Structure formats: C-alpha cells, structure tokens
C-alpha cells in the first residue's frame, strides 16, 4: 500500500474577502475530488483572504498510478488562471516506511 500527499500553497488573485476566497477555493477542491477521486481539503491559511493551502491525499497499490494521479492534480491546479501556484510539497509513503 502506498499513500501520496500534495500540499499546494496558493496566492489568490483579486480577492478582497474570505467569502470571495471561498468562491475561488471551493471549485478547485470540488474539481480535484470529482476528477481524480482523491481526498482534498483546504488545510491552511484559512484566515488569510489572498492565500490558501490545499491538501490532497490518495492511497494506491501501485506507485506508478499514485504518481500519475498526483501529477495530474498538480497540473490541474497550476493551470487555474485565478490562482498562482507558489509551491507544491509532495510526499510518498510505502509499507517499508516505519
């Protein structure tokens, strides 16, 4: 069993309130979940209206499949014009990790 995680640090465009922030972040979270069947949530910077941290997690029996899906998730977020992807942290954990 392999577990992969991504953590996206995002800078939001012309957002002036937490309500506007939600209107940008929620569709990204929903699309990642719908397209790739991954667990996804806003996990940080909730009190800042121009920054967001989104976390993605996935479990798979094969590392190749896991890496492919995480790559596709990263490309989807990077292609969103309403956000600037500042950084991505990726972690892969396998059975041999104790």
Predicted structure pTM score: 0.87
Q: Which residues pair with 2 in a beta bridge?
A: 60, 94
- Residue listed under structure tokens 């029996």: 61
Copy the structure tokens of residue 64.
């190749």
Which residues on adjacent β-strands are paired with residue 53?
9, 44
pLDDT tens figures, 10-67 = 999 888 898 999 999 999 999 999 999 999 999 987 888 899 999 999 999 999 999 9
């Amino acid at each position: 069993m392999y577990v992969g995680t991504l953590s996206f640090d995002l800078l939001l465009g012309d957002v002036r309130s937490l309500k506007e922030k939600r209107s940008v972040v929620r569709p990204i979270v929903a699309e990642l979940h719908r397209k790739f069947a991954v667990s996804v949530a806003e996990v940080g910077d909730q009190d800042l209206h121009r920054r967001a941290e989104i976390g993605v997690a996935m479990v798979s029996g094969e590392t190749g499949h896991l890496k492919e899906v995480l790559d596709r998730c990263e490309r989807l977020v990077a292609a969103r014009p309403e956000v600037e992807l500042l950084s991505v942290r990726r972690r892969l954990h396998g059975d041999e990790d104790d």
